[in-house]
Amino acid sequence: MIIVTGGAGFIGSCVVSYLNQKGIDDIIIVDNLGKTEKWKNLVGKRYLEYWHKDDFRKKLENYESELPIPDAVIHMGACSSTTELDADYLYSNNTQYTQQLISWANQKKIRFIYASSAATYGDGSNGYSDNHEDIHKLRPLNMYGYSKQFLDEMVLRLKLEKTICGLKFFNVYGPNEYHKGSMTSVVFNAYNQIRDTGKVRLFKSYHPDYADGQQKRDFVYVKDVARIIYWLLKNPNINGIYNIGCGIARTWNDLARAVFKALELEANIDYIEMPEHLKGKYQYFTQAENEKIIKAGWKEGFTCLEEGVKDYVQNYLAKDKRVY
């Protein structure tokens, strides 16, 4: 039996779908559906139970009597908004919640995989190495990134990386993100802009080393993320904190053109002013150093940007097939 926290969310629901494809449906989903559209990500999924996140945290406090012991916990549940300003909420929801789960999983010897983030690397001035000899030198640009950084530092300080697995996701895109509002991927937003206006709007650059639209990110397809998590479930001896990215930085222009190409349209891009509140927190370049996960045994590679965008646009967005 597997517990998937954030199991109705973007990455979590895709993981559940992939587990179902592999014949696994002995799953407990933990989430907070509220008044969102996340419930749609559960339609068609096979699982045992749904638990509200708050009820699950209460069960954790009394886990000797109230919680079944799963074979694994895939902890994707977190607030992933890079613009969230409530630091106490982020610390409780992203950091303390994970600490509770780690304590329980270690005591019960449960396989534990959790989501970290490339947001911990900040502006990248200290590199993107997941060897983390100098993890304390990383400077996240927002509280979301720091909530993950704080946790990763704790894991390394207590040498928990020998028994659990943390995944530092770079720019993940793909189906099942539709409920995320302002935090949806640029692929999703670009598709909607093209549908409505025939154009894509990208932020102008305010960095002398990058022309407009030439800011770079490491884009990783959510189906690759699901495949990697399944592989880690099948290989419980692989632990540590790993970057999850393609290892190739691509420009926003590349991404926008890939969306136009998937729609068989000529590219038409406008560059707009960046909101003031983002200018000092904007990452102009991210690129995963992914040799560590490859050396650990991941041999299946990553979907290139053009192929991932094509699958997402043609097989989901354009067909209004909203759930993977």
Q: Who's near 269: CB < 8 A, 6+ residues apart?
A: 199, 200, 201, 202, 213, 253, 256
Q: Which residues of 245-266 are buried (b: 16+ CB within 10 A; e: fewer)?
A: bbbebbbbbbbbbbbbebbeee
Active site residues: 144, 180
Q: Which DSSP state fits 300?
A: S
Q: Kindly tell me the sign of the dihedral angle through the C-alpha atoms of 86, 88, 91, 92.
A: negative
The token duo for 291 is 């040799």
Please give the structure tokens belonging to residue 261: 């190409």
Give the whole-angstrom CA distance, residue 19 versus residue 21. 5
